[in-house]
Structure 1
Amino acid sequence: MSGNVTWEMVFALTVLVGAVAGVWWRIEGRIDKAVKTVADDASLRAQAAQAAASMAATQLAEFKLEAARTYVSKDDVQQVRDEILGAVGGVRTSLDRINERLDRVVENAAKRQPVHRP
C-alpha cells in the first residue's frame, strides 16, 4: 500500500470514523441517561429519608410532650412519699397508743375482779 491516497480510501476512512463516533455517541448517551436515572433515584431516596427523619423528629417531640403530661415529676413523687411516710408514722403512733390502752384495760379488769378466798 505504498501508493496514492484515493477518494475511496478517504471515504472509507470517513465512514469508519463516523461509525465509531456514532457508536461512541450512543454509548455516552446511555451512560448519561443511566447517571441521570441514578441521580434522580438517589435524590428521591434522600428526600424520602429526610421526610422520614422529619416525621420521626415530630413524633418524638409529641411523645416527649405526652410523657411530660402523663408521668409525674421527681418532686411529685417525693411529695407523695412524704405523705405516705407521714401516714405510716400516724398509724405507728396509733398502734403505740393501742398498746397503752390494752394495758389499761387489762389493769382495770384485774382491779375489778374480786379476789376469791378459800
Structure 2
Amino acid sequence: MIGVLLLALLSGSQSETEAGSYDLSITTEAGLEKRATLTCRPTGGMHPEARAACRQLVKARGDIAAIPPADGVCTTEYAPVTLRAFGLWNGTEKEFEGIFSNQCVANRQTGGHVFNF
C-alpha cells in the first residue's frame, strides 16, 4: 500500500514540475497569420486558453503531436491552415508543424486547446 502511494506521489510530482513555453502560429493559405505565446508553469502568455492548453501539454510531456484529438465534427470545407509551434519543454527544444484542411480540423487534431486562439 505504501509503495502504491509513493508511486502515485512521485508520478504526480513529475507532471507538476514539467514546464515550457511556446510561440504558436496559425497561417492560412492566403498568408494571414495569427500568433500567440503560451507559458506553462507558471501558466501565462497571450493565449486565451492557457490553462487547458498547459494541462494537455503536461499530459503529453510537451509533445503537441502526442495530444489526443478532441471529439467533435468539422465541416469538409477546404481552407488549409498551417500550425507551427516552437519552444522549450523542460529545457529541450520542441517544434511542431502540421497542415490541415481547415481550422476546425486543425483544432480537433491537436486536442482542441493549444491552437484555439
TM-score (normalised: structure 1): 0.18
| Higher relative contact order (CA closer than 8 Å, sequence separation 6+) | 2
Between structures 1 and 2, the one with greater strand share: 2
Q: Which has the larger radius of gyration?
A: 1
